[in-house]
């Protein structure tokens, strides 16, 4: 049976990680892919590094490993921030001005950290949806009551579909070079 290049690549993308070296020779010799490329089979540390490096990049792609390794860290960080606010800030004794100044400052710092984490998480979701061959705007399905978050989680868990990628989803320098020449 004849398979096109795109069909073969799609087959290889859905293969287990150990077979991926067939289409990504860098994986076999341990070379880190370019920042604009998804890192299939990334380890925990590699995924966290990519999360921080690409925190504001809504263009490009993120592999399942890059996405799912970061989720426990975000969850634990949020739990710790809420516990800090609850136990240290709001349960502190006293009602004088100094105590309230500390409470408000701590609340503002936690709020800024959470806003930064939210923006980085949204960019990661956007890039993960691009890797599955869907527009990042599919994220807004999340706001459909009850079923929306389930559908979004399923979309984020789907394998990569490189055959369905679009030029406008790629990092800007790659898109401009491809468009100009």
What confidence score (pLDDT) does residue 3 get? 57
Count how many Cα atoms sit within 13 Å of the Cα of residue 62 in the half-sphere of its side chain.
35
What confidence score (pLDDT) does residue 175 get? 43
CA distance 151 to 158: 11
**Crossing angle for the helix pair 148-157 and 97-131, to the nearest 10 degrees:** 60
Task: Give me the chain's average pLDDT, please.
Answer: 79
pTM: 0.73
Query: At residue 176, does pLDDT exceed 60?
Result: no
What confidence score (pLDDT) does residue 116 get? 93
Task: Give the percent of the chain with pLDDT over 70.
Answer: 71
What confidence score (pLDDT) does residue 15 get? 53
What confidence score (pLDDT) does residue 22 get? 41
Summarize pLDDT for 2-40 with one digit per residue, the tens. 556 556 556 555 555 444 444 455 555 567 787 778 888
């Amino acid at each position: 049976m004849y398979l096109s290049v795109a069909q073969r690549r799609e087959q290889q993308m859905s293969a287990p990680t150990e077979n991926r070296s067939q289409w990504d020779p860098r994986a076999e010799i341990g070379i880190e892919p370019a920042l604009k490329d998804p890192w299939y089979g990334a380890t925990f540390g590699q995924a966290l590094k990519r999360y921080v490096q690409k925190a504001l990049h809504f263009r490009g792609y993120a592999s399942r490993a890059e996405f799912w390794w970061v989720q426990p860290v975000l969850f634990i960080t949020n739990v710790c921030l809420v516990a800090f606010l609850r136990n240290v800030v709001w349960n502190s004794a006293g009602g004088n001005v100094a105590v309230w100044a500390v409470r408000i400052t701590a609340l503002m710092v936690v709020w800024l950290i959470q806003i930064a984490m939210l923006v980085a998480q949204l960019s990661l979701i956007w890039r993960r949806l691009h890797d599955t061959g869907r527009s990042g705007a599919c994220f807004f399905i999340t706001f459909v009551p009850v079923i929306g978050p389930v559908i979004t989680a399923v979309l984020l868990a789907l394998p990569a579909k490189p055959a369905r990628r679009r030029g406008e989803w790629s990092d800007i320098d790659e898109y401009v070079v491809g468009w100009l020449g």
